[in-house]
Amino acid sequence: MVKTDLYEYPPELREEFEATEAIQFRDGSSATAADVWHFMTEIAPKRYPFAYTQKKYAGVRLSRDIHLPSAIKNHYLLLTMNDRITRSRENGAPVIFVQGGQSVDPYYAAGGIALRPASVGLWARGRHEGLGLNEEVVRQHKQKEKAYHAISFEACQTAGYENIQEGGLPIDMVAPFTCLRCSDISYGVEAHRHGPNKAVKLMNIDYPMRHQADKTWAVEYFAQNLRRLTSEIGKLAGREVTDADLSKEIRLHNEGRRLAIETAELWWSADLPPTNGVDRRSLYQMGGMEVHGDPSASLTVLRESHAYIKERVNKGIKAEGVVDKPIRLFVCGSCVFPNDFRIEEAGAIIVGQDNHWSDISTLVEEDGDPYQNLAHAILSYPYEQSVEVRAAWTIEQLKKSRADGVLFLYQWGCNTQSAIARMLCDTIKRDTGIPTMIIEQHEGGSEQSEQLLNRVNAFIEML
Amino acid sequence: MPIKTLEVIRKRLEERPAELRKLRESGQKVVGWTGYNVPEEIIYALGFIPIRIAIGGDDRLVEVGGRYASSKNCVFIREIVGVFSENEDPYIQQTDILAFDATCLQNFRAAEVIEYYFKKDVIVLGVPRNFYWEEGKEYFGKEADEFARLLEERAGVALDLAKLGESVALYNDIRKTLKSIYTFQAAKDNVISWVEVFDLIQAGDLLDKKEYLSLLHETLAELRALQHNPIIEVDGSEGRIFISGSLIPRGDRKLISIITSVGGRIVGDDIWTGILPHLDLEIKEISPAGVALGYLNRTPHAALPYLDLESDRRLKKLHELLGEFKAQGVIYHTLRYCDPFTFKAKETKDVLAKSDIPVLEIHTEYAGSDYEALRTRLEAFVEMIKIKAESAAEVIV
């Protein structure tokens, strides 16, 4: 691929960007804005050309909102995943595969690094340099095919099998929550037992169901799961994990969660969307402090972004590429979302998602037994409650975000989110009259299928 | 020679829906249950009439159920939802209360869908995924206490432990008798087939428990009279087939009928509508938690993940049953979107391959469209294991 095919950050932006804040990492090191600029303009285009694609609708392409420093810094953190995680692991931090949409406080409290499936995929992707967009997509699909072969072609979530068992990715432990969000995940963990990598430790963090947060024995059981988890990670990290370690981590993660909530409320309050959909999602997710594999880095970028969003909202600055009064869509369902670029081209914008937001917006009590507090908070995730409770919470988010319509998306092979789709949508329609649409997404290439996007566009048109 | 009691059982099954209707009119309540760790003894001890909701084989109902759940749920779950939607099944019509467990998460979702759309009174028993941990067992014991409490509320009486003890004794006797009968179907010169025993086991899901036990005793007596000493051994080239994998509920006889039609002899199973749930259930304490733990400590259902392949009791049990019933090949049956079993299909094949046991995976649903494709594959498999058995016999000679 010749360099002229790739996107380039405008050189005139350099001075403005280099005046922004440094990213602080958990190990005490930092990356100045100048470091980030150098990496993103000189190094990454050579190592990861796919990310610089000019293809208009490619899901992986960089945000074009270049005046939002966090957009560039977010991409920096994603593109340096291999460098950073590999280094941290070499320095003694065990890496643990987790579920998406779950809090990661106990993993970090025990000295580990928690990576959800997407982040594990990013780490694996970072080990293959010089690939263009199509080459990268083919690589990913070939890799995933290995998991289908070893597990089942009906699998959606494979618990990183393709990378950990068949790709040589040095994950130390696979230990996700087993919540209803995804029924494949615990079977995916189990599948590792027949893989060639016998070094990886396996554990399911067993999430009780049905009025779980109201049952003292369920909270106690989940707290016991968390204690076992921190103990096992502690062994890998060569340290004893105290209650104080977890309390400290909860306070840190609560800061991220609070900041994400404030940022979301600010974003939702604006007459004009202050960012595009891609950057909005990145900002909210940084509150979970898990997407980059470094909570401190996510937090510093989120703090800085918050100030930028505040300024844009106060000054009525609208994000580039978004129409003045876009149709506001809220996305529910499993770990997938429609293509933001196409949505925005059709005159709409995604204003929120229940996935991830459910855990990010759940604060943890800071006084008292940290395991009990964390267990209670986790078992209270709205996403994991009965349909009526989940719908009531979703409706609250719809009102806050002033959503015009709801898209419920689930991935092909997703059994438990697909099964709640109609119930949730029917409840939302019953209680609010807000139109809803359910879509199943198949794994595609670099862009989503025309069939899916036609339906989304028709929905937007109808709204 | 036909077993007379089997005829009686078939007749009693025909009469049972009307009988249930009368019993309900006289004030008794029917609890329909589904799942893999529902302690039925508690339901029975509280004076309810338990019936198992295990219905399959109707592609039209799968389609109907999918409209409420989704097309990505296993066909069994979709059919269950479809059955409640139409409410035409004579047993479903008689249910007052439903008891589901969360062993399989799709089963859990089915409970939610049925509760939401069809306004059924549903009780759900939580089941630990870490079922082998002491903490998991303790959690399950508490869930069983809660399960009993919710049933007590509906029964309007407290659970009498003496009655629970009687219930456990009754069910233990049923399990023991079934196990004895099961041996006959696998024996040389068998006087009862696996299909007949399979139907007999499933009759117990619906009939009155005391009457059922009595009928089982009569069946066993008949069998003993016909075959004094059943010996399980390979007889020539029978094509002895063992069925493993996803459940085969009442109404779904596609796979079974194809196997028998192509000359295979089914001699054993470890499916959850077959003999497996009746094996190794030891109740050490007469209490809701004690009964529930007996269930949890059985061979685990595939929906409960176990993270060490070498010590997996499900696979050990499979090997044990294959040996006991002298099976020559395994049909590993997976239903569309039944993740607990499809995720383990290749692994199970690999494990059995080490023991030189041929395995054929049949991935299917309730539609008849794959009938001929299945027949071709099953015919080839049965032929193959017969040839293999003949070759082995020649070597021994």
In chain A, the number of structural domains is 1
Residues of A with CB below 8 A from B337's CB? 154, 413, 415
Q: Which residues of A touch B37 (CB under 8 A)?
A: none
Over residues B110-131, the pLDDT tens digits come to: 999 999 999 999 999 999 999 9
- B307/A208 touch (CB, cutoff 8 Å), yes or no: no
pLDDT(B102) > 90: yes
Q: Are A398 and A332 in contact (CB under 8 A)?
A: no
Cβ contact, residue pair A415, B146, below 8 Å: no
Residue of A149, A191, A207 with shortest CB distance to B343: A191
Which residue in chain B is spatially nearest to A152 when comparing CA positions? B343
Helix (H, G, I), strand (E, B) or coil at A375: helix
Q: Is the ipTM above a cut-off of 0.85?
A: yes
Closest CA to A181 of A268, A100, A62, A279: A100
CB contact under 8 A, A221 and B337: no
Shortest CA gap A152–chain B (Å): 5
Helix (H) or strand (E) holding B97: strand B97-101
Q: For residue range B205-231, list pLDDT tens digits in order.
A: 999 999 999 999 999 999 999 999 999
- CB pairs below 8 Å between A and B: how many? 144
Report which of A58, A52, A72 is spatially closest to residue A132, judged by C-alpha positions: A52
Place A449 in a pLDDT band, splitting at 50, 70 and 90.
confident
Among chain A residues, the shortest Cα distance to B124 is held by A210
The span from the CA of A5 to the CA of A282, in Å, is 26
How many whole angstroms separate alpha carbon A364 and alpha carbon A361? 10
- Spell out which residues of chain B touch residue A415, defining contact as CB-CB under 8 Å: 70, 72-74, 105-106, 109, 337, 339
Distance set, CA A335 to CA A116, A156, A441 (Å):
11, 10, 10
Which residue among A190, A212, A217 places its CB closest to the CB of B305?
A: A190
CA distance A403 to chain B (A): 25
Q: Which residues of chain B have a CB within 8 Å of the CB of A410?
A: 70, 72
Q: How many CA atoms lie within 13 A of B133 on its CB side?
A: 21
Task: Quote the pLDDT of residue A55.
Answer: 87
Question: Which residue out of B100, B134, B135 would a mutagenesis test of the A interface target, given it has the greatest number of A Cβ atoms within 10 Å?
Answer: B135
Residue A2 has pLDDT above 60, yes or no: no
pLDDT at A365: 98
| pLDDT band, very low/low/confident/very high, at B134 (cuts 50, 70, 90) | very high
Shortest CA gap B133–chain A (Å): 10
Phi, psi of B30 (to 5 degrees): -105, 130
Distance from CA of A386 to the nearest CA of B (A): 8
Least CB-CB distance to B343: which of A187, A207, A419?
A187
State whether A183 and B342 contact (CB < 8 Å): no
Amino acid sitting at position B121: D
Q: Which of A190, A202, A441 to mutate to test the interface with B (most CBs of B within 10 A)?
A: A190
Question: How confident is the prediction for chain A on average, in pLDDT?
Answer: 94
Q: What is the pLDDT of residues A266-324, one digit of tens each?
A: 999 999 999 999 999 999 999 999 999 999 999 999 999 999 999 999 999 999 889 99
Average pLDDT over residues A81-103: 96
**Other C-beta atoms lying within 10 Å of the C-beta of residue A69:** 23
Integer Cα distance of A39 and A41 in angstroms:
6
Per-residue DSSP letter, B55: B
Residue B55 to chain A, least CA–CA distance (Å): 19
Instruction: Return the pLDDT at A1.
Output: 46
According to DSSP, residue B280 is labeled: S
Asked if residue A111 has pLDDT above 60, the reply is yes
Whether B307 sits inside 8 A of A189 (CB atoms) is yes
Domain ranges (residues) in chain B: 4-160, 234-396
Taken as a whole, chain A contains a residue count of 463
Q: Residue A410's closest chain B neighbor by CA?
A: B72
- How far is the C-alpha of A374 from the C-alpha of A359, rounded, in Å? 11
- List the domain range (segments joined by +) for residue A446: 324-353+386-463
Question: A380 in helix, strand or coil?
Answer: coil
CA distance B295 to chain A (A): 18
Residue A337 sits in a domain whose CATH number is 3.40.50.11900
Which of B105, B133, B306 is closest, CB to CB, to A183?
A: B105
What number is the average pLDDT over the span B164-191?
97
Residue of B nearest to A175 (CA): B307
| pLDDT band of A3, cuts 50, 70, 90 | very low
**Contact check, Cβ <8 Å, A415/B73:** yes
Q: Under an 8 A CB cutoff, do B112 and A423 touch?
A: yes
| Section A421-433 average pLDDT | 97
CA of B347: which chain A residue's CA is closest?
A: A194
What does the pLDDT read at residue A109?
98
Chain A residues within an 8 Å CB radius of B129: 178, 186, 204, 206-207
* CATH among 3.40.50.410, 3.40.50.11890, 2.40.110.10, 3.40.50.1000 for B4-160: 3.40.50.11890
Q: Per residue in B234-283, pLDDT tens?
A: 877 788 999 999 999 999 999 999 999 999 999 999 999 999 999 999 99
Round the CA-based radius of gyration of chain B to a whole number and report it.
21
Percent of the residues in chain B that have a pLDDT greater than 90, as a whole number: 95
CB–CB contact A183 B339 (8 Å): yes
Q: Do domains B4-160 and B234-396 have the same CATH topology?
A: yes
Order of strands, sheet of B121-125, starting from the edge strand that comes earlier in the sequence: B49-52, B30-34, B97-101, B121-125
State the Cα–Cα distance between residues B239 and B31, nearest whole angstrom.
40
Closest Cα of chain B to A180: distance in Å? 7
Query: Would the CB atoms of A151 and B343 count as touching at under 8 Å?
Result: yes
- Residue-wise pLDDT tens digits, B35-66: 999 999 999 999 999 999 999 999 999 999 99
Residue A421 lies in a domain: yes
For residue A4, pLDDT over 60 is answered with no
B235 φ, ψ (degrees, to nearest 5):
-115, 100
What was the pLDDT predicted at B396? Answer: 54
The string of pLDDT tens digits covering residues A130-179 is: 999 999 999 999 999 999 999 998 888 899 999 999 999 999 999 999 99
* Best to test chain A binding among B139, B296, B314, B350 (most A CBs inside 10 Å): B139
Give tens-digit pLDDT for A210-236: 999 999 999 999 999 999 999 999 999
Q: How far apart are CA A73 and CA A69, in angstroms?
A: 6
Please answer yes or no on whether B105 and A416 come within 8 Å at the CB atom. Answer: yes
Rounded to a whole number of angstroms, the distance from the CA of B166 to the nearest CA of chain A is: 29
Residue A345 is assigned to a structural domain of this protein: yes
d(CA B198, CA B179): 12
**Domain B234-396 belongs to what architecture?**
3-Layer(aba) Sandwich (3.40)
Closest listed residue to residue A98, CA positions, set A82, A119, A84: A119
Residue A59 has pLDDT above 60, yes or no: yes
Residue A202 and residue B307: Cβ atoms within 8 Å? yes
**pLDDT of A60:** 84
Q: What residues of chain A lie within 8 A of the CB of B35, using their CB?
A: none
Give the residue on A whose Cα is nearest the Cα of B110: A419
CB nearest to A387's CB, from B112, B124, B146: B112
CB contact under 8 A, B70 and A186: no
